[in-house]
Every structure is written in C-alpha cells, then in structure tokens.
C-alpha cells in the first residue's frame, strides 16, 4: 500500500493521468517577478513590492496542479543588496507542499553600465496528504510521512545585467535532495544541487525617462516617468528537472503605454498562452490563459493565472541612507575661500599636483546668493559646501569637493549627480601655482 501511495504522490494525478506529474511550479508571470525562478532577481527593482500569484492549471481535472505564491521584496543601499521572502502553497494530486524562503541578494558593479547580482535563499518546506483520497489511514508509511515532513530547502542563483537591456541568469532551485519519506524532521540534508537548474535570458532595456500627457479635468499636464523600459521585452527560459524533464519557453510582452500591455508565450511540447495586463500607478494586475495541451486535451479546460503587484512607498533611494559625498572643512568666514584668474572648465587632464579640481554644483553672479545655497545645503542635505570666486568673469562657484586627483573629482561629480537634484554639475580646474 505504501508503495502505491508514494507512486501516486510522485508520478500521477488522482485521475490516473500519467506523464503529467509536476514537481516544479509553472508561472506565466515570471516576466513580472523573475524572483520566482532566480533568487538573484530578488529586490532588483528600486521599490519595495508585494506580489500575489494564483495559478489554476488544467481546469476540469481533479487533483490538477494549483499554486498560490506570495512574495515580498525590499532593496536597500541603492539596490546593492536586498532582502526578500516567498511563501508558496503548491498542491498536485494527493500531496500539498508549503514552502517558506528568505532571500539575500547582492549586486557588484563590473563596469559603469553592467553589474552582476548574486542571491541565496534558505527556508523550510512541509508536505501534507489529502486524506479523502486514501482508504487505509493506518498505513505506517503515512504516519511516518506526517510526523517527519518538515525539511530544509535552499536555492542559489546569479544574474548579469547590462545597460543594453540584455540580462542572463542561472539558478539552482533546490540545493537539497528532494525526498518525502523521512524518519525525522530536518533530516533531508543530502546536497544534490544539480537535479534541477534554471537558465533565463531576456531583453528589457531601461529608458532614462518618459514624458506622458495626463489630463486633470479640462487641463492637461506633462508628467516625467522614471524607471521605465522600452515597449518590447523578450524572454527565453530553460528548466531541467530529474522529475519533470525539460521545459523550454519563449515569452514576449508589448507595452502600448504605461497603463496597458499584452503578451504571449510558447512552451515547447505544450503550446501557446496569452497575457494581458493593466498598470494603475502603484498597482498592476495581469492575467494569463493557456489552452489545454495535447496531454490533457478533451479533459481539461485550460489553465488560468492571475498576478497582483503592489509597490510600497516611494523609490527606495529616497528612503534609505544615500551615498555620502566627501566633506569639506567649512570655514566660518563669509567670503569666497579661494579666488583666481586662472580657471579652466573640464577635468580631462591627468593628476597633476599643481592643479586642483573642484566639483561645482551651481554658479552665481553675487556672493549672497551663493552663500545662501551653502547654508541651505548644510541645513537640508547635510552637505558641506564652499565658494570659489573667479575674478576673470566675476562668477561665484558653489563647490562640494576639492582634490588634486581628476579621477576622484569625476567620481564625486557622478555621486552628486545621482543623489542631488542639481543639473549641469561640473568640474573646474584651477592652477594653484
């Protein structure tokens, strides 16, 4: 009897359909939440967000796979690292699995326009049996299963991200060997990471900003949208499992505007699916439908999947500690700290000790305006600034950093551009001899 029960758990649905068993959950919305397949994708967005995914597979088939997934993602420190969590309930046939995973992700900049992210998860999994489908509840295999079904789970992954929009990632979804018949809790510590793996590549090109027209009553206004992407996105997914075999899928979405998108996918040896989605400021809702495949044709009514995404708060860069500018030592005198007739604009020269580089955030024609900005920066932004006067053109420069190194000056210029609202930040070069 026990062999029959566990054969049912692993390889068939209660209807007796063979070859449709499934150990890896399938998601049509992995393009919205790639964290579902790769822990390195956790908290890659600049927003804290929650996603809720509900998938009903092969409607009309008793015991068909059904999965409910709740994720939470929160980036920190300018998206350099993030903390996330997943709670999933996955039922198929006689068995239902509940997983909880906590994930840590970290990003390393390779160049100015590319980075690599790493992610690792750890948690627990628990399985339960549908008693209504079992006749002999006294079977010792069942009691042993129910008493010892809490086991550890873990996964790991990485992703390469480029400014061109090309992303390539790979993950090992299960580091511990999958097993159900345990003699005690937390017994399944056999390392077997390559029984399953996932590879995903996609094109999702970021755009600096997008201007859209919004109507308020009779009036129209232009709004600048940040963190947007090119309208066309393309995804390719490959999964391998010793239990489920291979899965190859191509998916593409097309955004007509910031509110509405459509998409479609083709899964090898399975068929097509369609996607439609709506975006309402901080909330998005998407639906996917798969017609029944040849495996269950004539019995099932297809598969339905819906996903709700909610952004929490503002962009994370405004909620956490920002990169710090190197501070100046502010003088108490209310006059320009330096003045010179020999001022050059630029910053392309090499490091020369007789030249000093100043990171300038703004220029003024009078000292009082420049001094007001210095005070405001200290009060509102905790940024120490000073004033440089050019006798040649009568301009007062408010600068936030000085150095003999061109490289350091340009680095501080980039940091200032990222964390302040000043436009046209520049480096000026002064001959100190």
Q: Could you read off the pLDDT of 400-413 as tens digits, one per residue?
A: 888 888 888 888 88
Q: How far apart are CA 325 and CA 384, in angstroms?
A: 9
The candidate with the shortest Cα–Cα distance to 202, out of 271, 267, 251, is: 251
325 located within any domain: no
What is the end-to-end Cα distance of the chain in Å, rounded? 93
Both 314 and 399 in a single domain? no
| Domain assignment of residue 248, yes or no | yes
Residues 290 and 404 in one domain: no
Q: Which residue has the higher pLDDT, 34 or 12?
A: 34
The predicted structure's pLDDT at residue 326: 52
pLDDT, position 215: 64
Q: What span, in angstroms and rounded, lies between the C-alpha atoms of 287 and 28?
A: 9
Task: Report whether pLDDT(67) > 80.
Answer: yes
Residues 271 and 387 reside in one and the same domain: no
Q: Check pLDDT > 60 for residue 147.
A: no
Count of domains forming the chain: 2
> Do 206 and 346 sit in the same domain of this protein?
no
Cα 423 to the chain's mean position, in Å? 28
304 plus 364 within the same structural domain: no
Residue 293: strand, helix, or coil: coil
Strands (E), 242-282: 245-255, 260-267, 271-280
| Predicted local confidence at residue 218, as pLDDT | 59
Please tell me whether residues 48 and 116 are part of one structural domain.
yes
Question: Confidence class of residue 83 from pLDDT cuts 50, 70 and 90?
Answer: very high
Q: Which residues contact 66 (CB under 8 A, 6 or more apart)?
A: 55, 56, 57, 90, 91, 92
Is the per-residue pLDDT at 91 higher than 80?
Answer: yes
Helix or strand or coil: residue 189? coil
Under DSSP, the state recorded for 318 is G
- Helix residue spans in 295-392 (DSSP H): 367-376
Given this model, what pLDDT does residue 301 score?
A: 77
Q: Determine the pLDDT at residue 291.
A: 87
- Of 266, 286, 318, which residue is a domain's last? 318
In a domain? residue 110: yes
Statement to judge: residues 304 and 390 lie in one domain: no
Q: Give mean pLDDT, residues 90-98.
A: 86
Domain boundary among 318, 352, 368: 318
Q: Does the pLDDT of residue 146 top 60, yes or no?
A: no
In this predicted structure, the answer to whether residue 1 has a pLDDT above a threshold of 80 is no
87 and 7 in a single domain? The answer is: yes
What's the CATH number where 165 sits?
2.40.160.40
Q: How confident is the model at residue 299 (pLDDT cuts 50, 70, 90)?
A: low
Does 19 have pLDDT greater than 80? no
> Range of 367's domain?
338-431
Q: For 67-81, 105-119, 163-177, 324-338, which range has the lowest pLDDT when averaged over its residues? A: 324-338
Q: Are residues 299 and 388 part of one domain?
A: no
* Cα-to-chain-centroid distance, residue 201: 14
One DSSP character per residue, 365-388 reads SSHHHHHHHHHHIIIII----EEE
Q: How many CB atoms lie within 10 A of CB 147?
A: 12
Residue 8 above 70 pLDDT?
Answer: no
Instruction: Assess if residue 108 is contained within a domain.
Output: yes
| Average pLDDT value for the chain | 80
**Amino acid 330: pLDDT:** 47
pLDDT in tens, 209-267: 666 666 665 556 666 666 778 899 999 999 998 877 899 999 999 998 888 999 999 99
Q: Are residues 389 and 269 in the same domain?
A: no
pLDDT score recorded for residue 433: 64
> Span 352-358, mean pLDDT?
76
Q: Has residue 78 got a pLDDT over 50? A: yes
Domain contains 404: yes
Residue with tokens 């964390």: 419
Domain shared by 403 and 310, yes or no: no
User: Do 145 and 228 belong together in one domain?
Assistant: yes
Q: In this model, does residue 164 exceed pLDDT 50?
A: yes
Share of the chain above pLDDT 70, in %: 74
Q: What is the pLDDT of residue 236?
A: 97
In a domain, 408, yes or no: yes
Residue 323 lies in a domain: no
**Residue 333 forms part of a structural domain:** no
The CATH number for 393's domain is 3.30.70.1070
pLDDT of 121 reads: 97
Name which residue leads in pLDDT, 418 or 368: 368
Length of the chain: 433
């Amino acid at each position: 009897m026990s062999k029959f029960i566990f054969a049912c758990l692993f390889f068939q649905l209660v209807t007796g359909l063979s070859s449709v068993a499934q150990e890896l959950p399938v998601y049509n919305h992995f393009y919205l939440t790639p964290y579902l397949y790769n822990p390195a994708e956790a908290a890659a967005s600049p927003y804290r967000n929650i996603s809720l995914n509900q998938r009903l597979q092969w409607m009309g088939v008793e015991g068909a796979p059904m999965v409910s997934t709740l994720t939470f993602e929160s980036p920190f420190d300018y998206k350099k690292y993030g903390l996330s969590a997943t709670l999933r309930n996955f039922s198929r046939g006689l068995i239902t699995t509940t997983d909880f995973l906590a994930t840590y992700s970290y990003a390393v900049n390779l160049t100015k326009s590319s980075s690599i992210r790493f992610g690792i998860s750890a948690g627990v999994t628990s399985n339960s049996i549908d008693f209504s489908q079992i006749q002999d509840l006294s079977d010792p295999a069942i009691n042993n299963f129910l008493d010892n079904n809490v086991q550890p789970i873990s996964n790991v992954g990485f992703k390469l991200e480029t400014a061109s929009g090309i992303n390539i990632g790979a993950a090992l979804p299960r580091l511990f060997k999958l097993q159900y018949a345990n003699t005690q809790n937390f017994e399944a510590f056999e390392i077997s990471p390559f029984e399953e793996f996932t590879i995903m590549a996609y094109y999702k090109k970021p755009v600096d900003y997008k201007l859209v027209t919004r109507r308020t009553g009779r009036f129209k206004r232009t709004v600048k949208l940040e963190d947007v992407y090119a309208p066309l996105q393309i995804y390719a997914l490959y999964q391998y499992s010793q239990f489920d075999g291979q899965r190859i899928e191509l998916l593409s979405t097309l955004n007509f505007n910031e509110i509405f998108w459509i998409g479609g996918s083709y899964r090898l040896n399975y068929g097509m699916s369609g996607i439609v989605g709506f975006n309402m400021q901080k909330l998005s809702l998407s639906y996917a439908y798969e017609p029944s495949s040849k495996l269950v044709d004539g019995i099932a009514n297809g598969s339905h999947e819906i996903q709700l995404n909610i952004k929490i708060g503002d962009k994370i860069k405004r909620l956490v500690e920002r990169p710090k500018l190197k501070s100046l030592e502010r003088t108490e005198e209310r006059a320009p700290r330096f003045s010179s007739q020999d001022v050059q604009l630029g910053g392309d020269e090499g490091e020369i000790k007789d030249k000093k580089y100043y990171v300038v955030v703004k220029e003024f024609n009078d000292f009082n305006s420049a001094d007001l900005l210095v005070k405001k920066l200290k009060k509102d932004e905790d940024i120490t600034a000073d004033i440089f006067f050019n006798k040649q053109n009568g301009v007062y420069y408010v600068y936030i950093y000085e150095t003999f190194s061109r490289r350091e000056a340009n680095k501080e210029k980039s940091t200032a551009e990222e964390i302040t609202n000043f436009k046209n930040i520049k480096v000026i070069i002064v001959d100190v001899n």
